[in-house]
Every structure is written in structure tokens, then in C-alpha cells.
Amino acid sequence: MSLDLLLDHLKHTAALSQVSGILSWDQEAIMPVKGAVQRAEQAGALASVIHARNGDPHIPEWIAAIDQDRLSAFDRRNIAEAQRGYDKATRIPARLAEESARAASQGQRIWAAARAEKNFSAFAPALKKNIDLKREEAKCLSAPGSDLYDCLLDDYEPGARACELQPLLESLRPGLVALREKIAGKPMPRALTGNFPAAGQLMLARQIAVQLGYDLEAGRIDTVVHPFCSGTGGDVRITTRTDEEDPLNCLYSTVHEVGHALYAQGITDEFMPAADYCSMGVHESQSRFWENQIGRSRPFADWLFPAMEKAFGTMSLNGPDQLYAAVNRVETGFIRTEADEVHYNLHILLRFELERELIAGTLEVDDLEEAWNTRFERDFGLAVPDASLGVLQDVHWSIGLFGYFPTYSLGNIYSACLDKAMRADLPGRDDMVRTAQTAPVLGWLRERIHHKGRVLSAPQLIEQATGEAPTAAPLIDYLEAKFGALYDL
């Protein structure tokens, strides 16, 4: 009886959270500009209701009355997640939850305008407010003297600690820098040039999404400033963006979000926390796997090249070999989402470093743009020309997502581990990818990752799926093999 009451409560709370997600999607995709003020109030009001449900005093009473020894691992995890949510909700004031949601909604709107104007100072007050609220939240959740950042990281990577993540992520740097230096000076592959109408890009993006397994009867594709995926189960929406001089941005943004969407559509129960995604690092492993190990692979170029010729006509590239080289060009650039695989994690390390300092208070918002530009030039050797190519390029901080960035690199690490294990299990995978018949690939991920929910921790899940504890070694091995062959190192 108590279990039924608890699960029913969780179901209704999850439904409200999904409504909140749809409101956020609507704000970024199709909401009228003049709806921003109302939407901020709506987001705050809904966050207040969800916060109250998470902290409902009946939750500990129901949990205490349940005999957990007789439960499945799945229901024990549901109880643990209910307790985790209750503990957080009862330590965070309702006023703070509502104000944070409102500030995130307002911050996204202000960021988008500031980014278009390349004006960081226009965004700085909203960012200060978000950071102040996040610091306050972390103080509510943390023990005296502990790392405030860990409390925020826990929202995306449960159980992870910055002091443990930092050496793992930093272990990538020597190999990435060495690989970049070996590639420097090598002949650069030909780039794709020309004009590619947006309508053709979106038509091909839709075709790719469906080909890889995205169910359009349970989703939709729209265009936004910064692509994202939203939803779960029967309503999983993805977004992309177009640039008529660069169709690859649209196509690979789409593949990335399809990776997220396939995970979300594969969740076995839309309302139970135990069935939800394991962590954002695992979620990002799915998007990065489909984008890189599949989408940027040589076999996939055999399918993609004729599909692009059909969509755009004769191109500046001659055949799949040149397309494969073009989509894997190693070139230092400013934009994280457009970065090649060699540089991508260096972008994440920069953001991880800066946001930890922002939350700790050792770096203030007024000094952030200068800090970004100085450290970017240190790490990449380029002077940042304007804020839209620097500190304003990502949406995350505008909506309060502090602690999210390191999950991208965890995703790259996990995806390489999964790729290594999958190749052993599916020796014919290249032939599948060459014809874009990837149902067995998706089936492998459904069985090993998507249907497992969050009964295990992220490291435990990856180890169970691959037979090995996750490390950075498979990622470095994969990058050295791929780019060593591409650049004849």
C-alpha cells in the first residue's frame, strides 16, 4: 500500500516535470518573444509546485512503512531516488527553487540577445544572479567546508566529486596535446564549400534521424540557436540549426541530438525515476557515440555522401573518402560544438576550470570574459575576437546548468569504452554503418544502457556493459588510431 502511494506520487511529480520540460522547449523553439516575462513566472510557479511535491512530508512516512527486502532492485532504486529528492527539497527553500527557475528562464532570453549583440556586459547581471542562486543552493545542500561545486555536479552525475573527476579529465590533456602537435603542419584535408539551402539541410537531417532509429511519431525536429534534446518516452523533441555555408553543422548537430533522443525514447517507464537515464555522462555517451564513432566514421561516409549529393547536387568533394576527411578536419577553432574530436575535450577542461572558480567565488563575473579570453589563448593559441565566439557561445550558464560541462568529457570517455566493447560483440558493424542499417547497433545500446535505467551508478553501468571499469585509455587509443591513419602520423 505504501509503495503504491509512493509510486503514484512519483508518477504525478514526473508528469509535472515533463510539463516543465515542454515549457522550456517551447521557450527556445517557438515561443513569441513577448511571452518571455509570462514564461518566467510560469516556470517559477511550476518549480514551486514540483519542489513542494518532492518535499512532501508523506514521503518519509511511506518509505518507512515499506519492506524493502522483498522489493526488486528497480523499486529499491525508486525509493532511493524519492529519498534523494526529498532530502534535497527539504533543504532548499521553496522561495529559492521558484526564484532559480524564474532566473533561468529570464537568463536564457537575456543571453540570446547578448550573444546576438556580442555583448557580455548585457548578460553579466543575469549571470551574476544565476551564480548567486546556485551558490545559495549549494550551501543549503553541502556540509560546512565542503566543495560547493560537488552539490551542483551531483544533479547531473550522481555521486561524482570534482576532486575525483579532475584527474580523470586532466589525464586526457597530455595525449590530446601530443596528438594535436603531431597533426600540426600536416596537409589539411579539403573542406566542403558551397551554398547549401536550409530546406535541403533540414530534409536530409530528418532523413538521417529516421535512418538511425529516431521515431518521429514520438518526436519532432525544430531549429533553435543552440541545439538540444528534450523529453522522454513518447514525446522526445530534438532541435538543430542551419548555416547555408556549412551543412555539416546541421547534420552533425542533428546526429548528436538523435543520440540523446534514442536514449530518451528507449526508457522503459516515462514516470519512474529508476527507469530514467543513469547520468548526464551516460546520456552524453550516447550522443557522442552516434555523432563520432558512427556519424564521423569512414563507413558512414559511404552512405552520407550520395545522400548529400541527392540533397544538394554536385559538391566540392569527390567521393566518400574526401567527405570522411572533411568531417574529421583537425583545426583549432573557437566554438565547442563545432570542435573536432582532438580539440573538443580541451574546450570542456576550460569550462570546467572556470565554472568551478565561479561557484567557489575565486572568480567573479566581472572578470569572467577576460579570464576566458586569457585561458583560451593559453590553451588554443588564438585570441578571442568577440564574446559570441568566447564566453557567450554556450547556453548552459544562462539557465543555471553549473556542473553540466564535465559530463561531456565523461560522455566521450564512456562512448569510447562502449565502442570498444561493441566492436567485439558486433564484428560486422562497419558493414551495417556503411548502409546505415544500424538497428543492431541501437539494439545493443538498448540492452546494455537504455533499458538499465539508473539502478546502477554510471561507472558500474559502463563496467557492466563493457566488462571493464571506465578509463580514458580507450578514448585516447581510438583518437590516436583514427587520426593517425587520417593524417599519416
Judged by DSSP in three states, 230 sits in strand
| Nearest alpha carbon to residue 86 among 102, 69, 62 | 62
Give the separation between CA 216 and CA 254, rounded to whole angstroms.
13
The amino acid that residue 230 corresponds to is S
- Please say whether the beta carbons of 177 and 478 come within 8 A: no
> Looking at this protein, which amino acid is placed at residue 280?
M
Q: Which residues does residue 231 pair with via DSSP β-bridges, in sequence order?
A: 236
192 and 316 Cβ atoms separated by less than 8 Å: yes
Q: How many helices (H) and strands (E) does the chain have?
A: 21, 3
The residue ranges of the chain whose pLDDT is under 50 are none
For residue 406, what pLDDT is reported? 97
Residue 282 near residue 456 (C-beta atoms within 8 A) = no
Task: Give the strands of the sheet with 219-223, arranged side by side.
Answer: 219-223, 235-240, 229-232
Pairwise CA distance, residues 162 & 349, whole Å: 12
Confirm if 229 and 264 have CB atoms less than 8 A apart.
Answer: yes
What integer pLDDT is reported at residue 226 of this predicted model? 84
Which grid coordinates belong to 411? 560522455
Sequence-distant (6+) residues with CB within 8 A of 437 are none
Residue 305, pLDDT score:
98
- Cα Rg, the chain, nearest whole Å: 22
CATH fold of 168-486 reads Neurolysin; domain 3 (1.10.1370)
- What is residue 185's predicted lDDT score, i.e. its pLDDT? 86
Three-state SS annotation for 160-224: CCHHHHHHHHHCHHHHHHHHHHHHCCCCCCCCCCCCCCHHHHHHHHHHHHHHCCCCHHHEEEEEC
Helices 94-117 and 120-141 pack at an angle, to 10 degrees, of: 160
- The residue type at 348: I
Distances in Å between the Cα of 338 and the Cα atoms of 195, 257, 376 are 18, 14, 16
Give the cell for residue 381: 593559441
Q: Write down the H helix ranges in 118-161.
A: 120-141, 148-153
Contact 258, 289 (CB under 8 A): no
State in Å, rounded, how far the first CA of the chain is from the last one: 65
Say what the pLDDT of residue 287 is: 98
Question: Cα(228)–Cα(250) distance, rounded to whole angstroms?
Answer: 12
Under a CB-based contact definition with an 8 Å cutoff, are residues 96 and 140 in contact? yes
Q: Is 257 a catalytic site residue? A: yes
Backbone angles phi, psi at 237, to 5 degrees: -105, 135
| 238 HSE (CA, 13 A, CB side) | 32
Give residue 125's pLDDT.
97
Closest CA to 335 of 350, 325, 324: 350
355 phi and psi, to 5 degrees?
-75, -30
Asked if 183 contacts 489 with a C-beta cutoff of 8 angstroms, the reply is yes
How does DSSP assign 77-104, residue by residue?
A: HHHHHHHHHHHHHHHS-HHHHHHHHHHH
The number of beta carbons lying within 10 Å of the beta carbon of residue 470 is 24
Active-site residue (options: 98, 137, 157, 257) = 257
Backbone angles phi, psi at 438, to 5 degrees: -100, 20
CB 365 within 8 A of CB 358: yes
DSSP category for residue 383: -
